[in-house]
Structure 1
Amino acid sequence: MTRRTPQPEKLQETLGYRFARPELLVEALTHVSAPGASGQSYQRLEFLGDRVLGLIVAEMLYQAFPGSPEGELSRRLAELVRRESCAEVAIAWDVGPYMKLGAGEAQSGERRNHTILADVCEAIIGAVFLDGGYEAAKVLVAQAFKELLHAPRRPLRDPKSALQEWAQGKGFPPPTYAVVEQTGPDHAPKFRVSVKVKDHNSDFGLGASKRAAEQEAARSLLFREGVWTQEDQGND
């Protein structure tokens, strides 16, 4: 017997938003493979929702991190709006049972496909924007992404780049690196590298390559000077 897709009233409760035009939510949940979906799949709403999400998250980041430079805000933005984050939000909303799919896609488990889930997340945001305006979409996104806002899944920047940005912000020349010591056999060397920033003491890092040692040296200096905290690195 064919499984019927449940009506999305319960989903509206989960979203915390009641649609004046519920057909927009139905469209946001409709995959291109669904019967009769021609021209009414979520693709156009996804396109719109992607832009709305980017603007809202950019505003959230601007307000949440008043001391962060543009480069860091851009990295945080990319982290928040990437596919994995949007799919995580769609899973939290439990949109899977409400999605309209073709029979083959439904049987092959596409309700759990992270690419589709991410698309539906953006489509729902686009649908809320069309139905209730920017403020309604902002409330939805703020509630759904608030935990991700302060808990990036990946390092926001590598230590060398962060140190160079910090030095430039202080008006200093770029940091300089030097190999202090190389030990171990040729096939498994170990490097000790120093890093120096004008008017600051050198710091050191160890690594299996010069680049790895430079990154460790930069990381050490950033922490020593109080430029970085654990939150700046993100969570692995």
Structure 2
Amino acid sequence: MGRDTSGGDDPGQAFVAALGHTFANRDLLREALTHRSAVDRQRGRNIDLRHGNERLEFLGDRVLSLAVADLLIRRFPDESEGELARRHAALVRAETLADVARAIELGGRLTLADSEEATGGRHKPAILADACEAVIGALYRDGGLPAASAFVERYWLPRIEHDPKPPRDPKTALQEWAQGRGLPLPSYREVGREGPPHAPQFVMEVVVRGRTPAHGNGKTKREAERAAATAMLGALK
């Protein structure tokens, strides 16, 4: 069994208001809020939850990428593809998704197995990021691109406005920091993997001579390397 604080079929008025969309098919929202660890809890309902929220997460990842790209094109009509790409990478990464999930108090609405609950699953950045993508997927399935895009614009536009200049790639910034001090280039290596084989979370370590190694997680090794570089840059400040 698993613990569900979402009140069964009622996701909570405040949470629905945060999404900005009233679901015609509430099963989609229930699916988005069900972690794969708690699939057994939902058996017997007229809904296919063999994969928890992973299928909606898969869809939401693609919808988010499109919605953010469209938002950036409209907001920065004069920027180059490279500048837009750097903004896009920062906005769709797991850290940003987890931040949005916290802003809408998504963790408290999740259905988790007792084992995941006991290890602080409601606060794990990877679970929050994945669930946020699943919610975006559910919004798309229920209300189409307008519903999903409205949610993305509501929570991502303030982040875009907060950084008027395109962000620098963290790996490039860390490399320049090391070169400026006559140090060898940073080195990266995989130190672990988490999650199921079909959707792993990579854990990468970055080493800079004379500094404590830093680590980062991501759905790809490249994303995890960027997260590790970001962590290292934060430690250097």
What is the TM-score with the length of structure 1 in the denominator?
0.64
Separation in 1, partners of 2:25, 2:124: 27
- Does residue 9 of structure 1 match 2:29? no
Whether 1:49 aligns to 2:66 is no
What code does the residue aligned with 1:63 have?
A: R
C-alpha contact (below 8 Å) 1:28/1:41 kept by paired residues:
yes
In structure 2, the partner of 1:209 is: 182
**CA contact under 8 A between 2:3 and 2:113: conserved in structure 1?**
no
1:28 paired residue among 28, 32, 35:
32
1:3, distance to aligned residue in structure 2 (A): 5.5
Aligned ranges for residues 101-140 of structure 1 at < 5 Å? Answer: 101-140=112-151
The amino acid across from 1:45 in the alignment is L
Q: Which has the larger radius of gyration?
A: 1
Aligned residue for 2:112, secondary structure, equals coil
Contact 2:57 2:137 in 1 (8 A): yes
The separation in 2 between residues aligned to 1:81 and 1:154, in whole angstroms, is 17
Query: How well do the aligned residues superpose, as a CA RMSD in angstroms?
Result: 2.9
Letter in 2 for 1:26: R
Three-state SS of the structure 2 residue aligned to 1:135 is helix
Deviations 1:183-212 (A, max 9, x none): xxxxxxxx9xxxxxxxxxxxxxxx433999
1:101 counterpart SS class: strand
| Number of equivalences | 168
Residue deviations 1:105-130 (CA, integer Å, cap 9, x gap): 01111100000100010000000000
Quick one: structure 1 residues 154 and 98, their matched pair in 2 at CA, closer, same or farther if it must change by over 3 Å?
A: farther
4+ aligned runs moved over 4 Å, structure 1? 152-155
d(CA) in 2 for partners of 1:31 and 1:53? 20
- What percentage of aligned pairs have identical amino acids? 43
Equivalent residue letter for 1:5: T
| Pairing 1:56-71 to 2, within 5 Å after superposition | 56-71=67-82
1:32-60 deviation per Cα after TM superposition (whole angstroms, max 9, x unaligned): 11042551511000000000000000000
Q: Does 1:92 align with 2:103?
A: yes
Q: What are structure 1's unaligned runs of at least 5 residues?
A: 163-190, 192-206, 213-234
CA displacement 1:72-94 (0-9 Å, x = unmatched): 10110000000000000000010
Deviation at 1:154, TM superposition (A): 10
Give the Cα–Cα distance (whole angstroms) in 1 for the partners of residues 140 and 67 of structure 2: 11
